[in-house]
Structure 1
């Protein structure tokens, strides 16, 4: 291959991902049980038994070379040179390298806009029920940011302290977590009953609120469930939520109906099975993605249901008008 020799490629492939990250980016590793690790940048990227797998993207490999190319998007030649030390990046032994971890950024909620009508209008436009929105605002888990008028979805710990927040732009496609957020405490809307045994789990706050809105739309008591957003597909937030809510025994997995969502539901089941306390307590885990014909996520399903109801109501009005006209 132009630029690198077969010998260099062979040397580069000697680096497994765990050794590479332990050597050069230890701050990127987080232990998640036994001999398994996950990366801080991609919490669904797991490293175990000499292999790595980025579950949310459905890709994986064995070597650091695979990782640099498939995950970091590095050119193959540059990745080989990096691992072989031709550019000075990976030539020293681990004991020679001083590690300086970056200080964690403090978690600070964005300033609130006192008039949050733009965020409310945006969510209403996405089909979220007004009562569901009001409940979130009253509980202090939803507001509009002052500077950019984003929706701010707040996650709190078991004592009510804000530990996480994600932003959703109301004028475009902007999405981001606030710096310093702890994804173990992702956004959740609690049940009216503290001891509710039910939790509905979605990937995003808007999908979680869409599930609540659909239940209300169907005439069901939507307040009997807890609603949790994972902030993705990783099980971390759900495991923390379940340990903080010991009354929960029934889980409805309302993740997206796509490859990442289906794989995410499998990983959640696996994580619950591997947890000694939860494996004994949890009685029911139901895979409940939206029907694929209605879109891949629950907000798409909600908007289709609203449109169908609106169309049916208009048909009824039109038919009623024709009947009245005939009677005259």
Structure 2
């Protein structure tokens, strides 16, 4: 199949909620009157949840406004083709190799579905060491060296060579990596870089498996999973980061680990996280699992924010104690 898109596909790509796209990339969307902006870049204006403009003269023409496609091109470094594919995937649409027009993928049975076009899944080349990764996770995200080293030794995280991103690997039950996401260690102008590796199978997520445990703890993000391990020193339970609020990775993990009988949902404390947690608890309780809602404490968005606040509090207490002793 060539790289050309049908009018229907382009219409679907340009119908995606741009605010949802921005949030999925790690931005904080705020409504101001008739438009939305981003907490991290308040010069951005999003109109009708579909078009954006950047009020600044320092950017080259073509980089300060446009559609959802232009947003991904400017802020994620995608070309137009990759941006359209990304938006179609975000909308739950799959291109189907056939000369005959087909309905959307969710209307096509798995048996009759032809092979989908998907880029090869190639993990980023690892760096010579993990120094940038360790510095970022330890100093910026408050995760202890003990926990970082544990995940490095297990081969679940590593530092990429060219951009020094943290790569989070999602393996299947046989240890084969089927999913990977990246998180930049250099946030420019408050803008976090987050991206899935091309060719991912989103039915899998970043996980820690233990066939001897019947408990599964579920998170939205990989860093929250690592933060939880640090807070509770929990090295025994199964743990899974969805990488989103949809539960396809959870369905896969439960299918691959049938010994699991209980699920604890540690999703974010914001409105989307609370809504998703309630819906997932209802679904999996109905499927016969013991379920529990375990959000971060009130006032914290997620487990990493809780961990960082705890570390800062402990550090401040230690400094005050040291000053008293010296006095």
Compute the TM-score of the two structures, normalised by the length of structure 2: 0.63
What is the aligned partner in structure 2 of residue 208 from structure 1?
A: 225
Alignment length, in residue pairs?
A: 232
What is the aligned partner in structure 2 of residue 197 from structure 1?
A: 214
Q: How does 1:115-264 map to 2 (within 5 A)?
A: 115-125=129-139, 126-172=141-187, 173-191=192-210, 194-216=211-233, 222-264=234-276
Q: Is the 8 Å Cα contact of residues 205 and 229 (structure 1) preserved in structure 2?
A: yes
Measure the CA separation in 2 of the matches of 1:160 and 1:41: 35
Larger radius of gyration: 1
2:302 is the alignment partner of 1:297: yes
Measure the CA separation in 2 of the matches of 1:318 and 1:271: 53
Measure the CA separation in 2 of the matches of 1:254 and 1:114: 34
How many angstroms does 1:320 deviate by?
3.1
2:280 is the alignment partner of 1:268: yes
How many angstroms does 1:171 deviate by?
0.1
Change (3 A) 1:196 1:145: same
Unaligned runs of 5+ in 2: 1-6, 22-28, 30-46, 53-98, 103-114
Change (3 A) 1:208 1:70: farther
Unaligned runs of 5+ in 1: 1-22, 29-38, 46-56, 58-68, 75-96, 217-221, 323-328
Q: Comparing 298-307 with 259-268, which one deviates more in the overlay?
A: 259-268
Q: Is the 8 Å Cα contact of residues 17 and 50 (structure 2) preserved in structure 1?
A: no
How many angstroms does 1:169 deviate by?
0.4
How many angstroms does 1:266 deviate by?
2.1
Q: Is the 8 Å Cα contact of residues 202 and 208 (structure 1) preserved in structure 2?
A: yes
How many angstroms does 1:189 deviate by?
2.3
